[in-house]
Structure 1
């Protein structure tokens, strides 16, 4: 290879990374702004600003019972009819993992775009699933276009596609380091220095670009308490328990998704599932949405034993119901919330044995551990929680202890299954 050819190749690689970071950041920003706009319009709050100070939970709580019920039932109609029609008339979808494995089979442009928009619309209207898959899909989709335009090799295309997906995650949640780690740990399963640099460049650019429309706020407000010996011992004991629960969560969510049929059942089941959610929301406004509201309540010590236990059961119920109906979305924030609610219960039981520490610290440690095990991404989960909450480094000891116990327990149970 001549020096000129080598320089040209390097230039194309760098250009591809920069373009992917910019496009992924813009795409994630636009999806997030669309989400907020639909939420405000549907539930009638913060009508004069797209990114407001009023939370989704507060907006849902303040909405009238009739409006809340109608909006969430409407989400069921959009989900059921939208994904049924997409499956019937659209091209077969190609997942992010599949296209990273084989860049020669690209993601269909319009099918992927509509799939992402359906996720954003339904989550905005109250779906209990997460919004993070949509920007990851858009990031990977546009990275594929860039790779083909610049004529990158198969291996370079694989790296760029994974970086695009990680950059979408980084941008939508303002978590550049977690986005890069997700690329390396989950998608590429590689920490080669070339991959590390590529992931860091794209995620950093995407997260920075998105701040122009979304601001530079952390996702959760967390006031650090003292890291007590009780918290560290609890992390040691609770880790395997949370790992067992995460294993069960993985089995349940995978099982119901396998039962989805893209026929007349999808609109019917979707309407039934979202009607169930709409009815429950009249008594528990914390249930609609991806779970950010209940998670923040748990961090603020705003949940008692009875409410935490009730929300845990009902949250699991509605997540499984909408997944069985065929609705699509992520399980990152829902999984974090389920883990936080379960950790709240374990914390209350632990206080009868060895008192000490504030509940928000236990919730943070336990939620991170459940997320790490349920998503099978321990490093990404730890950094994600760090960037979500801006927690200080004192928490790394209990978090790592609990994450290791949960992750390895879940892995061991899956091997036996």
Structure 2
């Protein structure tokens, strides 16, 4: 059955290649990805909000509010159990970092199970109160749909990457009903380099996803902003931008600390217990940390400023401005902790939504404080919107995504100038401290990130070292007599031969000129291979970085290097020739991309 299916796919691909141009076919595939990703986005939002509504409204029990301490733990536990029970093949990862890794090092291969497993686990995590967002999971789900379709259709790396980006853009577009932001997100975050031809598939895919998602799930995310901005408020917007920029640096520090602490906990159920308990206590004290947090922002945009504190144990002080400000500041500082604890304990989600909530709350604090103090009278809703854009742009290192996303989902295009100012300043502050975003830093630390400004690194990251290994050489054993192997050496086209022991362990190399020189001097020599081999050459492994491999070849004036496995067993040779040939192939594919 499988063979018949593969043959059918091959025949289909041959037929469509003969009937449809590559450019037109990719547009059709992009629209299909948009439809599927739009359905996935509406399904994720529907399931998540249904769980939230059931737990908060439909569930009627005298002591149910005590369960709010346990709901986050239950959600994380169910998510972990699902992964351990049903994800048997492949690896389940959360966040946008795995997508960047897939593009850089895995030929844009995103495991097919992500198309549904991301939906299930994130809906459970967030629905039960996990303080994280749905945007990263839906972007990963859409990317998986695009990647799987591209590989199913036998498309090239570049074409599959385009469909992956279309899927991620469609997921964002469907989740927020914001096609422009989805496109900008794909270009800023995912695509190693942007060319004009990819814009059309992205545009159609994101627009299609928005239409599909809106057909099945038509709830407005935020209250629409319609009032313009005032020149006298520009100085306060700069203050807001500085505060958001500084907070984004704080977020990065907390990110490293929390992940590092949970990494030391090896037992997954201990992580769930500790993380769930911490999250339960935080949500009990600060209810606005529950779930995504969009409800709080919506209430603030509508002018209900006491909503930040109204459902907490401090509700009786909601008429005191200083208490409201202090409570909101505490919420801001703890939102990042709650989000990162949720993710580190095993829950699924992303920092996309939390960054919006944090930015919105910072904007509220700034505007509310200005108005209460009597320094001036500013529009609080405008500052909330500007804060959201600045936080998203600075944390993700994607200022255009932050600007256009917020402008679309709030109707705040009239606020474009404040959005641009706050986002740019906040981004520059974060960038001055960290060259990489929270998504790219883990990859950059491992040397696995595609660099937009470094073409060589980008292309080398696209290569698979294992596929470049050459195994057509003669292998000599340390105890071999040179005169017994001379015929094999002369027939070989190589000038360097690997030497191993009887167990296959790599021991060194020997050069053909050394062998010939010795045999010409004494044909009956009893010398063995280990008498003439060079042992100073250190082999590389399958996990070696190709850029470092090339650098080492240049520094040591080597044309080939031996490759061994983790146990030191010889695998083969990798040469400059094979690397350069693959490099030229990739550049040729890029030149022909969408031609």
Cα drift, residue 356 of structure 1: 2.2
Relative to structure 1, the CA distance from residue 207 to residue 355 in structure 2 (aligned partners, 3 Å threshold; closer, same or farther) is same
Distance in 2 between residues matched to 1:256 and 1:366, nearest whole Å = 24
Counterpart check, 1:149 vs 2:152: yes
The 3 A distance-change label for structure 1 pair 322 and 285 is same
Give the match for residue 364 of structure 2: 344
Specify every segment of 5 or more residues in structure 2 that has no aligned partner in the other structure, as ranges.
Answer: 1-16, 307-323, 442-595
Distance 1:90 1:251, change over 3 A: farther
2:217 alignment partner, one of 214, 217, 234:
214
| Residue in structure 2 matching 1:281, options 280, 283, 299 | 283
Q: Which stretch shifts more, 264-273 or 325-334?
A: 264-273
TM-score, normalization: structure 1?
0.86
CA 1:386–1:318 in 2, change beyond 3 Å: closer, same or farther? same
Contact 2:258 2:337 (C-alpha < 8 Å) held by counterparts: no
* 2:164 aligned with 1:161: yes
Q: Return the offset for 1:14.
A: 1.9
Identify the match of residue 267 of structure 2 among 265, 268, 282. Answer: 265
Which residue number in structure 1 is paired with residue 187 of structure 2? 184
Deviation of 1:121 after TM superposition, in Å, equals 1.1
- The RMSD of aligned alpha carbons is 2.9
Work out whether residues 226 and 357 of structure 1, in 8 Å CA contact, stay in contact via their aligned partners in 2: no
Deviates further, 78-87 or 267-276:
78-87
Matching residue of 1:72: 72
Could you list the per-position Cα deviations for residues 1-49 of structure 1 after superposition, in whole angstroms to 9, with x for gaps in the alignment? xxx858432332122111111111112222222212222333334x9xx
For the residues of structure 2 that align with 1:240 and 1:308, how far apart are their CA atoms? Answer: 18
Distance 1:130 1:339 in 2: 14
Identify if the C-alpha distance between structure 1 residues 179 and 328 changes in structure 2 by more than 3 Å, giving closer, same or farther: same
Which residues in structure 2 correspond to 1:120-131 (within 5 Å)?
120-131=123-134
Deviation per CA, 1:239-265: give whole Å up to 9, x if none. Answer: 233212112212322443355449753
Alpha-carbon separation, structure 1, partners of 2:44 and 2:23? 31
Is the Cα–Cα contact under 8 Å of residues 184 and 195 in structure 1 kept in the other structure?
no
Counterpart position of 2:355: 335
Distance 2:78 2:405 in 1: 31
Judged with a 3 Å threshold, the aligned counterparts in structure 2 of structure 1 residues 175 and 198 are, in CA distance, closer, same or farther, namely same
- Name the structure 2 match of 1:371: 392
Contact 1:273 1:321 in 2 (8 A): yes
Contact 1:83 1:115 survives alignment (8 Å): no
Asked if 1:37 corresponds to 2:57, the answer is no
Residue of structure 2 aligned with 1:97, choices 73, 82, 100 = 100
* Aligned match for 1:194, one of 172, 197, 220: 197
Distance 1:207 1:254, change over 3 A: farther
Q: 1:296 aligns with which of 281, 295, 298?
A: 298
CA contact (8 A) 2:403 2:419 kept: yes
C-alpha deviation, 1:64, in angstroms: 3.8
Change (3 A) 1:214 1:254: farther
- Runs of 5+ unmatched residues, structure 1: 48-58
Which deviates the most, 362-371 or 36-45?
Answer: 36-45
Residues 136 and 352 of structure 2 are in contact (CA less than 8 Å); yes or no, is this contact kept in structure 1? no
Between stretches 323-332 and 174-183, larger displacement belongs to 323-332
Q: Which shows bigger deviation, 245-254 or 180-189?
A: 245-254
For each residue in 1:96-133, what CA deviation from the matched residue of structure 2 results, as whole angstroms up to 9, or x when unmatched?
22223356362222366324421121111110010112
Whether the aligned pair in 1 keeps the contact of 2:122 and 2:134 (CA below 8 Å) is yes
Query: Which string of whole-angstrom CA distances, capped at 9 and with x for unpartnered residues, describes residues 323-351 of structure 1?
Result: 33233311111111112222223334445
Answer yes or no: is the 8 Å Cα contact 1:80–1:268 preserved in 2. Answer: no
Query: Whose RCO is larger (CA < 8 A, sep 6+)?
Result: 1
Q: How many residues align?
A: 397
Richer in strand (by share) = 2
Larger radius of gyration: 2
TM-score by length of 2: 0.61
Q: Does the 8 Å CA contact 1:99/1:106 hold for their aligned counterparts?
A: yes
Please state whether the residue corresponding to 2:113 is helix, strand or coil: helix
Equivalent residue, structure 1, for 2:574: none
SS of equivalent residue, structure 1 residue 272: helix
